[in-house]
Amino acid sequence: MCGILAVLGFCGDSQAKRVRVLELSRRLKHRGPDWSGLYQHGDCYLAHQRLAVIDPASGDQPLLNEDETVVVTVNGEIYNHEKLRRLLPHHKFRTGSDCDVIAHLYEEYGESFVEMLDGMFSLVLLDKRDNSFIVARDAIGITSLYIGWGLDGSVWISSELKGLNDDCEHFECFPPGHLYSSKQGGLRRWYNPPWFSEAIPSIPYDPLVLRRAFENAVVKRLMTDVPFGVLLSGGLDSSLVASVTARHLASTKAAKQWGAQLHSFCVGLEGSPDLKAAKEVADYLGTVHHEFYFTVQDGIDAIEDVIYHIETYDVTTIRASTPMFLMSRKIKSLGVKMVLSGEGADEIFGGYLYFHKAPNKEEFHREACRKIKALHQYDCLRANKATSAWGLEARVPFLDKEFINLAMSIDPKWKMVKPEEGRTEKWVLRKAFDDEEHPYLPKHILYRQKEQFSDGVGYSWIDGLKEHAAQHVTDKMMQHASHIFPYNTPTTKEAYYYRMTFERFFPQNSARLTVPGGPSIACSTAKAIEWDAAWSNNLDPSGRAALGVHLSAYDEHVAAVNGGMVPSDIGGDVRSMMEVTAGLAIQS
């Protein structure tokens, strides 16, 4: 990932303003440690901190067209850039960078070129001919982006809050799938797939079509000129990413350059569920596997850095971001600059355990749509910023635009959990890769039930966080929480502790408003409570709060999946582990 900062219409002494833009851009250097660039045209400044993944030698930004009338700064990857270059036979490209097509596409197709991009991106484009500019963000919001306004009428764009929070009168999250045009004077949504309206689809489920679409999504993300690997937790999603990558690696350009054996990475506390499962998958796939261990104290010591980099006070996001933040540093130390990750599958296929309680397919589909639309505030934000904190790029094949459009066109009746038919959560995805002749994964891994990432790294992690927060937040502080924090009032000591830390780094009202409204638990369980009142007793956003579903679902799963082909001892071991975990959750 790179870091971009643009200040458009910045009035005043140009040299002083240039120095200020450079100073603010340096706050994003962790995102792009390989090179820095700044382009100034009148009162407009486009800055870039580069992480060189494609064409490291010559792809420095900002990038210009042939006559230098169009300038762009981009954070992201354009996976179809070679195809797009073929649509521009009369244009001369200065670099081999995937982002070099953008200025030329704009010359040919105007603002509509954004719809042609297949990838993850945040970009600012300046047209010097009329001093107009556009800002755009990818369909789902995989890359982070913020927009702000100065008292002098300037418009500010930054990959992270820290690039603009001291200089803008107001700032907010730039919405995914949108384009801001200075000519049009506002935002418009450029990404409008059929599923976005939440109309209920009716296309029959075809497992082979779904499988091919996901394989294509993975393979296109192997486009790289630097060492890469996969994040492997041992759960279904990351294991499928690793499996498909391992199968296709030998035929890719990257394999010829870096070797055909895939590197995989996992993080956890000693004895964590993820470490055990990931090692089994890695052995099955033959990856070069790297296990990283951390202690509860290591994680607690990193919390302030995590909140500074992730830029949120959402409890679940911080819990999950911390192990990923620690792991990313280790990965980067090995010389790896890009990893594939499994975010997005739970939202698309209803993988969270409360989807077991969905009353009908209509409710199921609408909730899945809502979850996808909120990804940029949670899992995408975590994956992007936890890795970018150390100059590591995360690519997420489940959030491929074509794959999402296909997966969300399937009649949601096929995604519904039906234990009596052997269908657990994400059954359509599991079934698509259940190949008896050429297995992608061991059967019990393919049908392993979901763990929250913050649970899977080790159950004592969350309990340790709660204990630490209780030492720093008193009962008296909690009594007055609504007066100190009237917006998003923290309801637990852990949430209060995170909020205090966040406010030290980002004290502006605009900053606290970038985190979604309501208690953090509301975002994950509001629908669950509506579907089953028993969920109202679960106050913790951890996946462990779903204990009843976890236990009953796993029992059903072990009994039903493929006529009992999952070994019974695995179900018993996991069930016992969950029961122990339940005791810890209840005690806390």
pLDDT per residue rounded down to tens, the chain (588 residues) = 799 999 999 887 789 999 999 999 999 999 999 999 999 999 999 999 999 999 998 889 999 999 999 999 999 999 999 999 999 999 999 899 999 999 999 999 999 999 999 999 999 999 999 999 999 999 999 999 999 999 999 999 999 999 999 999 999 999 999 999 999 888 999 999 999 999 999 999 999 999 999 999 999 999 999 999 999 999 999 999 999 999 988 665 555 665 678 999 999 999 888 899 999 999 999 999 999 999 999 999 999 999 999 999 999 999 999 999 999 999 999 999 999 999 999 999 999 989 999 999 999 999 999 999 999 999 999 999 999 999 999 999 999 999 999 999 999 999 999 988 889 999 999 999 999 999 999 998 898 776 555 556 767 899 999 999 999 999 999 999 999 999 999 999 999 999 999 999 999 999 999 999 754 444 455 777 788 777 666 656 555 545 455 445 444 444 444 443 333 333 333 333 333 333 223 222
Q: What is the pLDDT of residue 529?
A: 76
Distance from C-alpha of 364 to C-alpha of 394, rounded to nearest angstrom: 29
- What is the bridge-based pairing of β-strands 170-173 and 186-189? unpaired
Could you give the C-alpha distances from 58 to 31, 54, 99, 391, 396, in angstroms and in order?
18, 9, 12, 18, 26
CB-CB neighbours of 236 under 10 Å: 25
391: Cα within 13 Å, side-chain hemisphere: 19
Question: Which residue among 2, 266, 369, 523 is the active-site one?
Answer: 2
Could you give the C-alpha distances from 381 to 140, 173, 316, 373, 393, in angstroms and in order?
11, 11, 12, 13, 13
Binding region? 98, 231, 267, 341-342
Q: What is the pLDDT of residue 567?
A: 35
φ, ψ (nearest 5 deg) of residue 423: -110, 105
Architecture of domain 3-192: 4-Layer Sandwich (3.60)
DSSP 203: B
Distance from C-alpha of 287 to C-alpha of 262, rounded to nearest angstrom: 5
Three-class secondary structure of residue 199 per DSSP: coil
Q: What is the pLDDT of residue 566?
A: 36
- Look up 168 and say whether it is catalytic: no
Instruction: Give the residue extent of every domain in the chain.
Output: 3-192, 208-587
Binding region for ATP? 231, 267, 341-342
Binding region for L-glutamine? 98
Task: Classify residue 476 as exposed, middle or buried by CB count within 10 Å of its CB (0-12, 13-18, 19+).
Answer: exposed
Q: What is the pLDDT of residue 521?
A: 43
CA 429 distance to own-chain centroid: 19
Q: What is the pLDDT of residue 532?
A: 79
CATH 3.40.50.620, domain 208-587, yes or no: yes
